[in-house]
Structure formats: structure tokens, C-alpha cells
């Protein structure tokens, strides 16, 4: 597995927009701000909400593409692996890339841009 790169961020942004899960991201960000926040739980909850939003075939394909890139697998491998493996991949991505800190930074940046 590799670290998330800039291209992944834009892929994720498109996925979030197309999957209409901005509320999930905002909820994860707010939860991450709380003292003693469990970043693994927050990331997993957000990931599960994202999975729920992937009922559209286009969004599902975007999810496989994003996960395949970060996990250094083929999209087909992501599509056919066990749910447990996918959840473990998501957890590792969240842990290894400190997603909560990323959300904090992104929120701070967006606040500065919009000011």
C-alpha cells in the first residue's frame, strides 16, 4: 500500500461529490475535532457511509479505481475481494495517512480560501 497522493485526493473529491457524501465528511471532521477522538472508528464509520453511497455503478467504479490505486491492486481485485479485506484496506489507508489530520487541514484551508 502506498501513501495517498494528490491525484487520489481529486479522485476522492469526485467520488464524494458524485456519491453526495459531503455530509459524511463533515461529520467525520467534527468527530475528529473532539478530544480523545478515535480516528480509526471515525474513518471506518465514514468509509461505511461511503460504501452505502456507492449503489450507482459509476460511483462503484470510481471507488474501485481509487482503492486499487492506493492499495496497489487492480480494480478487479478490489471488486472481488472479501468485504473484510476491503474494510481492512480502508482502515489501513485511514491509519497510514492520518485522515483525521487531513480533514482538519483541508477544512482550515477551505476556510482561508472562502474568507
* Contact status, residue 46 vs residue 25, Cβ threshold 8 Å: yes
Residue among 39, 2, 46 at smallest CA distance from 24: 46
Per-residue model confidence (pLDDT) at position 102: 67
Give the domain ranges of the chain: 6-114
Per-residue model confidence (pLDDT) at position 112: 55
pTM of the shown model = 0.64
Q: Output the tens digit of pLDDT for each of the chain's 115 residues.
A: 998 888 888 888 888 788 777 777 788 878 888 888 888 888 888 878 877 877 788 888 998 999 999 999 999 999 999 999 999 999 898 888 877 666 666 556 555 554 4
Residue 46 to residue 18: CA distance in whole angstroms: 16
The Cα-based distances of 9 to 36, 37, 69 in angstroms read 26, 23, 12
Side-chain-side CA neighbours of residue 34 (13 Å): 10
* Contact status, residue 51 vs residue 106, Cβ threshold 8 Å: no
Other C-beta atoms closer than 10 Å to the C-beta of 53 total 18
Amino acid at each position: 500500500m502506498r501513501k495517498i497522493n494528490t491525484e487520489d485526493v481529486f479522485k476522492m473529491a469526485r467520488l464524494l461529490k458524485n456519491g453526495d457524501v459531503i455530509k459524511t465528511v463533515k461529520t467525520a471532521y467534527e468527530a475528529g475535532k473532539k478530544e480523545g477522538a478515535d480516528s480509526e472508528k471515525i474513518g471506518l464509520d465514514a468509509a461505511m457511509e461511503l460504501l452505502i453511497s456507492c449503489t450507482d455503478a459509476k460511483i462503484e467504479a470510481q471507488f474501485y479505481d481509487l482503492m486499487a490505486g492506493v492499495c496497489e491492486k487492480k480494480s478487479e481485485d478490489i471488486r472481488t475481494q472479501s468485504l473484510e479485506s476491503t474494510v481492512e484496506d480502508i482502515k489501513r489507508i485511514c491509519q497510514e495517512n492520518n485522515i483525521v489530520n487531513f480533514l482538519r487541514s483541508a477544512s482550515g484551508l477551505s476556510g482561508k480560501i472562502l474568507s
